[in-house]
């Protein structure tokens, strides 16, 4: 049977009395860029946090690639194949760009204490591969010359790219990006768009939270719109932007997105 | 940007530093001994024990970013293990054991060191398992309590069965015997007359080098990177798939193991252990060495140990005679001068070098 890569059904999450997520269902096909948009406080980041185990949902069903999964232990979500970036950049600041990406390789590598202490050849080989892989990913996101820079010394746009490289290093089946264009200037946004398309064309599936309407409409294959924790519209960008409820949610009645 | 230097020091500079360090390590007791006699070499021996301790604590605090205020407990565990296994105390308490070993226990150092490492690591896990979900200040308080609990246990485990001999401590701990050579006595080796403090110095120096080697390898490994990622941002590390609880336990266990080794050597060196060697003050002293030098940076940690373990002793030894020479009498107790120096060094460091005297990477651009 043909199943979507990620299928989420009727997820609920309350904070006190506020329903941050209210029966949210979502289904993402392999190989697409899926957009999740909505006004401030709509529940987009909460959805990411629930999906990646940072918050425990009150209810809901999660399937990744046809397999039921319970996002309970955060570290198992990355192993299962979902990697994410953060709305407020969260890099390992005092480490170099290269080391940040190498940490992303952690789940796909095995060297333990013995490999470190003994320096046996299999361990050294894995370490060399990790390093090479990280260098390739840095080049892939356009940070080839920045391998040895402290993460927090990079420009804002570069930090966002570094987060993407670090997430890609976990070999995710779904790459979830929380506002990757935030804080970028116009030309950086253009470059980001082509990076996202390149990542998709290389066989990845992306879930994208983004406020920049032009970017979302341009790059996404399908979009869900959240408002007050509810999904108010799903569809191709062209359909969604004409949806009256979406227009109302964004700009009040009578306006156009 | 092109002027910026790389994050990691060039390997050429690193190996030059290593060479200088090795040279200093070999020559130090001769220089110091020439200047101040065996007492000063003894101070050096203690500095080496502190370096082992601080390198262990550096794994926990410097790499994994977990504030451990009770680290001296692992030193105590190692010390008491060595004392129990190589002193007559247990045999005196348990006649049945004496019948079994009429010659005394005299356990070999080759057995004591790995046992001390394992036992201390075990205690590390016991402390870590229930507490590592705590963060920052809370973890600091709990570990502080743990350190005190161990000390109080050692003080009171002389009843109902006399295990630790209570506040009186355990005496007559065997000196280290290495390949038939008793390090507790002056020995003629290779035509050199080596007093006990010199012999211990070289044993400790060898172990410091081993531990140093282990630390450097760990720091540059997948595990070391994972520890630092946890230190930098625990949630992001988890989101990258790191099992942070297990990795933190591992840091606790390995750090504790180095503490245990150091403690076992301390017991054999002193020939005597008592609970008063393992107070909160000692935990704080080791933490101060790590912090003053530069958390997470091995050369900085060693510098911190040398400064805080050796210099104050030198001050204590020299301030009396100096005052005599200058004023004809001792105006201020040298011990007070030592403590003043200690406090002043920490305050100045926090004011002007909050990242330590020799931090790993200067902030801002690389
Ligand atoms: N940890 C939390 N505790 C309490 N309330 C929270 C928490 N996280 C989010 N919320 C609330 O849940 C709602 C959704 O927040 P969320 O951060 O998911 O919005 P968002 O769609 O990502 O908004 P933005 O576009 O501003 O990032 C908001 O009302 C917010 O205040
Ligand atoms: Mg958000």
pLDDT at A255 over 60: no
Considering the domain architecture, whether residues A231 and A198 belong to the same structural domain is answered as: yes
For chain A, the C-alpha Rg in angstroms (whole number) is 19
Instruction: Encode pLDDT of A11-69 as tens digits.
Output: 999 998 889 999 999 999 999 999 999 999 899 999 999 999 889 899 999 988 888 88
Angle at A125 (CA atoms; ends A122, A128), nearest 5 degrees: 155
- SS3 state of residue B228: helix
Give the distance, in angstroms, between the CA of residue A3 and the centroid of all CA atoms in the same chain: 21
**B218 close to A (CB below 8 A):** yes
Instruction: Encode pLDDT of B131-173 as tens digits.
Output: 888 877 899 999 999 999 999 999 999 988 899 999 999 999 9
For chain B, the C-alpha Rg in angstroms (whole number) is 21
Name the residue among B235, B240, B360 with its Cβ closest to that of A103: B240
CATH of the domain at A43: 3.40.50.300
> Structural domain of residue B42, as residue ranges?
20-277
Could you say which residues of chain B have pLDDT below 50? Answer: 1-8, 362-366
Name the residue among A106, A119, A150 with its Cβ closest to that of B366: A150
pLDDT of amino acid B178: 86
Which is more confident, A2 or A1?
A2
Residue B25 lies in a domain: yes
pLDDT at A253 over 70: no
Query: From CA B52, how far away is CA A2, in angstroms rounded?
Result: 59
Query: From CA B309, how far away is CA B311, in angstroms rounded?
Result: 6
Give the distance, in angstroms, between the CA of residue A65 and the centroid of all CA atoms in the same chain: 17
Residue B344 lies in a domain: no
Considering the domain architecture, whether residues A135 and A103 belong to the same structural domain is answered as: yes
Tell me whether residues B223 and A113 touch, CB distance under 8 A.
yes
Considering the domain architecture, whether residues A55 and A161 belong to the same structural domain is answered as: no
Q: Which helix (H) or strand (E) holds B187?
A: strand B187-189
Considering the domain architecture, whether residues A230 and A249 belong to the same structural domain is answered as: yes
| Among B1, B5, B7, B231, the residue to mutate for chain A (most A Cβ within 10 A) | B7
Considering the domain architecture, whether residues A184 and A157 belong to the same structural domain is answered as: no
Beta bridge partners of B177: B182
Average pLDDT, chain A: 91
Residue A188 lies in a domain: yes
Query: From CA A175, how far away is CA A171, in angstroms rounded?
Result: 9
- What values do phi and psi take at A67, rounded to 5? -100, 130
> What tokens does A43 get?
């529940």
Tell me whether residues A75 and B254 touch, CB distance under 8 A.
no
ipTM of the complex: 0.92
Residue B324 burial (CB count, 10 A): 12
Could you give the number of structural domains in chain A? 2
Q: How far is the CA of A71 from the centre of ligand 2 (A)?
A: 19
Query: From CA A55, how far away is CA A12, in angstroms rounded?
Result: 11
Instruction: Encode pLDDT of A139-155 as tens digits.
Output: 999 999 999 999 999 99
Residue B314 lies in a domain: no
- Is the CB of A224 inside a 6 Å radius of any atom of ligand 1? no
- Is the CB of A72 inside a 6 Å radius of any atom of ligand 1? no
Considering the domain architecture, whether residues A100 and A42 belong to the same structural domain is answered as: no
Strands A67-68 vs A59-64: parallel, antiparallel or unpaired: antiparallel
Domain stop point among A118, A152, A171:
A171
- SS3 state of residue A89: coil
pLDDT of amino acid A14: 92
**A176 close to B (CB below 8 A):** no
Name the residue among B217, B235, B361 with its Cβ closest to that of A117: B217
Q: CB-based burial of residue A131 (10 Å sphere; 0-12 exposed, 13-18 middle, 19+ buried)?
A: middle
> What tokens does B166 get?
């209570």
Domain stop point among A138, A171, A204:
A171
Give the model's confidence band at A70: pLDDT under 50 very low, under 70 low, under 90 confident, else very high.
Answer: confident
State the number of CA atoms in the 13 A half-sphere of B103 facing the CB: 2
pLDDT at A168 over 70: yes
Residue A239 lies in a domain: yes
pTM for this predicted structure: 0.91
Residue B10 lies in a domain: no
Tell me whether residues A116 and B221 touch, CB distance under 8 A.
yes
Could you give the number of structural domains in chain B? 1
pLDDT of amino acid A251: 65
- Is the CB of A40 inside a 6 Å radius of any atom of ligand 1? yes
Considering the domain architecture, whether residues A237 and A166 belong to the same structural domain is answered as: no
Query: From CA A100, how far away is CA B58, in angstroms rounded?
Result: 21
**A238 close to B (CB below 8 A):** no
> Structural domain of residue A206, as residue ranges?
1-81+172-257
Considering the domain architecture, whether residues A130 and A190 belong to the same structural domain is answered as: no
Strands A59-64 vs A205-209: parallel, antiparallel or unpaired: unpaired
Q: Quick one: closest CA in A to B360, which residue?
A: A94
pLDDT of amino acid A208: 94
Residue B192 lies in a domain: yes
**B224 close to A (CB below 8 A):** yes
**What are the start-end ranges of the E strands in chain A?**
6-15, 18-28, 33-37, 59-64, 67-68, 82-84, 174-178, 205-209, 222-227, 230-235
Residue A88 lies in a domain: no
Residue B60 lies in a domain: yes
- Cα dihedral sign for A82, A88, A89, A93? negative
Considering the domain architecture, whether residues A211 and A251 belong to the same structural domain is answered as: yes
Contact indicator for B257, B124 with CB cutoff of 8 Å:
yes
Considering the domain architecture, whether residues A257 and A227 belong to the same structural domain is answered as: yes
> What tokens does B24 get?
């200093």
Distances (CA, A) of B154 to A93, B117, B231, B264: 42, 19, 33, 15
Residue A102 lies in a domain: yes
Domain stop point among A171, A198, A225:
A171
Considering the domain architecture, whether residues A151 and A182 belong to the same structural domain is answered as: no
Residue B103 lies in a domain: yes
Residue nearest atom 29 in ligand 1 by C-alpha distance: A41
Residue A23 lies in a domain: yes
State the number of CA atoms in the 13 A half-sphere of B270 facing the CB: 20
Tell me whether residues A149 and B7 touch, CB distance under 8 A.
yes
Contact indicator for A222, A32 with CB cutoff of 8 Å:
yes
Measure the CA dihedral A213/A219/A223/A227, to 10°. Answer: -20
């Amino acid at each position: 049977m043909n199943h979507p890569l990620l299928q989420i059904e009727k997820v609920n999450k309350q904070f006190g009395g506020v329903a941050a997520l209210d029966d949210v269902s979502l289904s993402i096909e392999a190989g697409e860029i899926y957009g999740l948009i909505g006004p401030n406080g709509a529940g987009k980041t909460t959805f990411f946090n629930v999906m990646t185990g940072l918050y425990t949902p009150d209810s809901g069903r999660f399937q990744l690639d046809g397999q039921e999964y319970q996002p309970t232990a955060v570290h198992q979500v990355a192993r299962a194949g979902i990697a994410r970036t953060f709305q407020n950049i969260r890099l390992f600041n005092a480490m170099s760009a290269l080391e940040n990406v190498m940490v992303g390789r952690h789940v796909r590598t095995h060297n333990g204490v013995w490999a470190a202490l003994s320096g046996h050849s299999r361990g050294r080989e894995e370490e060399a591969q990790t390093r090479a892989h990280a260098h390739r990913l840095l080049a892939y996101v356009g940070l080839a010359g920045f391998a040895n820079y402290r993460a927090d010394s990079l420009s804002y746009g570069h930090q966002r790219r570094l987060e993407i490289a670090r997430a890609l290093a976990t070999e995710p089946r779904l790459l979830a990006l929380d506002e990757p264009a935030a804080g970028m200037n116009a030309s950086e946004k253009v470059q980001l768009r082509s990076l996202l398309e390149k990542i998709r064309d290389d066989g990845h599936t992306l879930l994208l939270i983004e406020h920049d309407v032009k970017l979302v409409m341009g790059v996404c294959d399908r979009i869900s719109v959240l408002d007050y924790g509810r999904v108010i519209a799903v569809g191709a960008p062209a359909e969604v932007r004409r949806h009256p409820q979406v227009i109302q949610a964004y700009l009040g009645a009578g306006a156009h997105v | 940007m092109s002027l910026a230097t790389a994050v990691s020091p060039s390997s050429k500079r690193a190996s030059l530093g290593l060479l200088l360090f090795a040279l200093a390590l070999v020559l130090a007791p001769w220089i110091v001994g020439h200047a101040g006699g065996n007492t000063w070499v003894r101070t050096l021996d203690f500095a080496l024990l502190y370096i082992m301790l601080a390198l262990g604590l550096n794994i926990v605090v410097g790499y994994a970013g977990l504030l451990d205020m009770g680290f001296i407990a692992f030193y105590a565990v190692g010390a008491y293990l060595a004392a129990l296994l190589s002193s007559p105390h247990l045999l005196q308490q348990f006649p049945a054991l004496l019948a079994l070993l009429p010659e005394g226990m005299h356990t070999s150092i080759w057995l004591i060191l790995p046992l001390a490492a394992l036992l201390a690591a075990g205690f590390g896990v016991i402390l870590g398992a229930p507490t590592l979900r705590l963060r920052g200040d809370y973890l600091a308080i709990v570990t502080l309590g743990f350190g005190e609990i161990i000390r109080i246990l050692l003080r009171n485990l002389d009843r109902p069965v006399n295990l630790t001999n209570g506040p009186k401590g355990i005496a007559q701990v065997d000196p280290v015997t290495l390949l038939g050579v008793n390090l507790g006595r002056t020995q003629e080796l290779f035509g050199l007359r080596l007093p006990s403090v010199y012999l211990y110095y070289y044993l400790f120096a060898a172990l410091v080098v081993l531990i140093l080697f282990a630390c450097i390898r760990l720091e540059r490994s997948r595990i070391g990177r994972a520890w630092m990622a946890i230190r930098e941002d625990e949630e992001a590390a988890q989101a990258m798939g790191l099992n942070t609880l297990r990795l933190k336990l591992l840091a606790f266990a390995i750090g504790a193991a180095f503490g245990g080794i150091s403690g076992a050597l301390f017991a054999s060196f002193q020939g005597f252990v008592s609970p008063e060697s393992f107070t909160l003050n000692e935990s704080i002293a080791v933490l101060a060495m790590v912090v003053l030098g530069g958390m997470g940076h091995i050369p900085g940690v060693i510098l911190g140990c040398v400064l805080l373990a050796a210099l104050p002793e030198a001050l204590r030894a020299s301030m009396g005679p100096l005052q005599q020479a200058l004023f004809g009498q001792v105006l201020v107790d040298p011990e007070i001068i030592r403590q003043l120096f200690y406090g002043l060094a920490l305050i100045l460091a926090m004011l002007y070098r909050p990242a330590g005297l020799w931090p790993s990477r200067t902030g801002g651009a690389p």
